[in-house]
Amino acid sequence: MANLDAPDIRSWRTTTGREPTVRIGIVLDADDMKVLHIETPDEPYELRGRGCPTRAVRRSRIEARLSDNSVLVRVDNGTLERAPFWRLVPQADQPVEHGCGALVRDVVAGRGFHWRKTIDQHLTGVLELRPARHGLVLVNETSLEPYLAGVITAEMGAECPLEFLKAQCVVARSWLLALTEKMHDGEPFDRCNDDCCQRYQGTDELSDVAIAATTGTRGMALLDSQGKVVDANYSKSCGGVSELPEHVWGVHKPGLSAVVDAPPGGVEHRFNPVTGDVFDEYLNGAWIESTKVYCSPNVVAPKDFARYLGRVDETDDYFRWTIRLARSEIDETIKAHVPEAEDFVRLHDLRVASRGVSGRAISLVVAYLDSAGQHREVTLPSEYRIRQALHPGFLFSSAIAIEIERDAAGVPEQISYRGAGWGHGAGLCQIGALGMGLCGIDHAAILKHYFPETQLSRVYP
Ligand SMILES: [Zn+2]
Ligand SMILES: [Zn+2]
């Protein structure tokens, strides 16, 4: 049963001492879904449409259609009923188990990324249907703990070691409880279900180990030196050194620091920070052959990624990688994503202007020719904009060296990126934390490694 007196996440404070509820956007306006299909399990639910009689449903097929700023709903091929919004509310306690909850068809995963696809997923808790400008919005209102079990299995595969999943769970819980990043303002949910916030795919991938990781860390969060919950970030692979939030989002976050992702005392510690002088050595030096960096292939073999990474990821070597593109492909992505490059005709040069402590480019100059054949320049001011502009499918990371092959007239033909890591690199390194878990290191030590300035503490029972 939905716990109606639980505090919502927006009013939750460390002092509340209770598990909050959270509203997650499952289908967003941008997904442009005019019709949705939901199937309820063999459990009692109530379907409540404002202004309509409440109806008990069980093992029912519900079809929802966007219509004139309201939602038309039909149950089991019955008649269509109109309401400004609808809530589908479970009437009994729901277990946190594989495949439990109501089934929602065709939910978008990997929104805006090259791996975008649609999947069917089961969700426990309340489902709320609302109209928006382009399509229907589906919100899942759920207690925090079942939500977290769905996050850790969507973010990483269910075969991951327990201690790693526990660490991931604490970080995901902390990030949500801190709720400091402004996202989805004005929308009827707190966070979405995708990489823009954190990935959540309901109960379909839940495994015993993921449930054990959630229950085993119930209510545990990272606190900063002031006792506030840390806005703890994570990304797939730091590449050897983690990044500071100042260089990713331009803000200081208490409790986040830059760390070398290797055991103490190793040769890797000379790379903090990864400055311009050591960048080539960091990217390609002989040290990589035998490194003990936790996210390197020496600790987590790329052939094992398929077992450990979530089901919507590609498998490759994310620690060090090379990508080669034709200039024409980059011209297209710059036209699409860099509107400030006015009258852009073709790329002439790419120059990294500054790097963060992990070697990630945080400012990059795009030099180009306009339609009059004049040289012009624009500067991309963040790692996100750089990754978006330089690759049609979003570059793995901005910790890159760029090589440009030119024809006899000096016109760029091919562009190669040699890069390190995957993601923004701030906070927990997921592949590195997985590597630590595979090495037998417990979750408290994993968290202390990535967040040395924090304390692990229980914030609700
Ligand atoms: Zn989001
Ligand atoms: Zn790492």
- Cis amide leading into 273 (omega within 30): yes
Q: What separation in Å is there between the alpha carbon of 193 and the centre of ligand 1? A: 6
Which structure tokens are listed for 120?
Answer: 């069917």
Boundary-marking domain end, from 182, 215, 248: 215
Q: Is residue 44 part of a domain?
A: yes
Ligand nearest to the CA of 182: 1
CB of 157 within 8 A of CB of 311? yes
Task: Specify the number of domains making up the chain.
Answer: 2
Ligand nearest to the CA of 421: 2
Q: Is residue 427 part of a domain?
A: no
- Say whether 420 sits in a helix, a strand or coil: strand
CB of 129 within 8 A of CB of 123? no
Name the DSSP letter for residue 49.
E
Residue 77 and residue 203 in one domain: yes
Q: Is residue 391 part of a domain?
A: yes
CB of 324 within 8 A of CB of 413? no
Which structure tokens are listed for 142?
Answer: 């759920």
The partner residues of 46 in beta bridges, in order of sequence, read 56, 89
Name the DSSP letter for residue 225.
T
Most distant pair of Cα atoms in the chain: their distance: 76
Q: What separation in Å is there between the alpha carbon of 354 and the centre of ligand 1? A: 28
> Which amino acid, residue 308?
Y
Q: What separation in Å is there between the alpha carbon of 429 and the centre of ligand 2? A: 5
pLDDT digits (tens), the chain, 461 positions? 445 567 888 888 877 789 999 999 999 999 999 999 999 999 999 999 999 999 999 999 999 999 999 999 999 989 999 999 999 999 999 988 999 999 999 999 878 776 788 999 999 999 999 999 999 999 999 999 999 999 988 777 768 899 999 999 999 999 999 987 778 989 999 999 988 888 898 999 888 899 999 999 999 999 999 999 999 999 999 999 999 999 999 999 999 999 999 999 999 999 999 988 999 999 999 999 999 999 999 999 988 887 887 654 555 789 999 999 999 999 999 999 999 999 999 999 999 999 999 999 999 999 999 999 999 999 999 999 999 999 998 899 999 999 999 999 999 999 999 999 999 999 999 999 999 999 999 999 999 999 999 999 999 99
Residue 170 and residue 57 in one domain: yes
Q: Is residue 21 part of a domain?
A: yes
Residues with CB under 5 A from ligand 2 (ion): 238, 261, 295, 429, 432
d(CA 156, CA 145): 17
d(CA 291, CA 322): 19
Q: Is residue 235 part of a domain?
A: no
Which structure tokens are listed for 424?
Answer: 């923004």
Boundary-marking domain end, from 199, 215, 231: 215
Q: Is residue 167 part of a domain?
A: yes
Ligand nearest to the CA of 183: 1
d(CA 418, CA 60): 52
The partner residues of 169 in beta bridges, in order of sequence, read none
CB of 332 within 8 A of CB of 346? no
Q: What separation in Å is there between the alpha carbon of 195 and the centre of ligand 1? A: 7
d(CA 215, CA 18): 15
Q: What separation in Å is there between the alpha carbon of 161 and the centre of ligand 1? A: 27
Residue 326 and residue 189 in one domain: no
Ligand nearest to the CA of 430: 2
Boundary-marking domain end, from 161, 195, 215: 215
User: Residue 415's domain spans which residues?
Assistant: 320-420
Token pair 């997921």 in the structure block, residue: 430
Which structure tokens are listed for 14?
Answer: 């460390």
Q: What separation in Å is there between the alpha carbon of 235 and the centre of ligand 2? A: 9
Which structure tokens are listed for 436?
Answer: 């630590």
Assign residue 63 a region (left: φ > 0; alpha: ψ between -120 and 50; beta: otherwise).
beta
Ligand nearest to the CA of 26: 1
> pTM of this prediction?
0.91
Token pair 């890591």 in the structure block, residue: 421
Task: Output the CA angle 389-392-396, nearest 5 degrees.
Answer: 75
Residue 203 and residue 348 in one domain: no
The helix or strand, by DSSP H or E, that contains position 61, with its residue range, turns out to be: strand 61-67
Q: Is residue 108 part of a domain?
A: yes
Ligand nearest to the CA of 193: 1
Return all residues near 308 (Cβ < 8 A) that are at least 6 apart. Answer: 156, 157, 159, 160, 300, 434
Token pair 């976050």 in the structure block, residue: 253
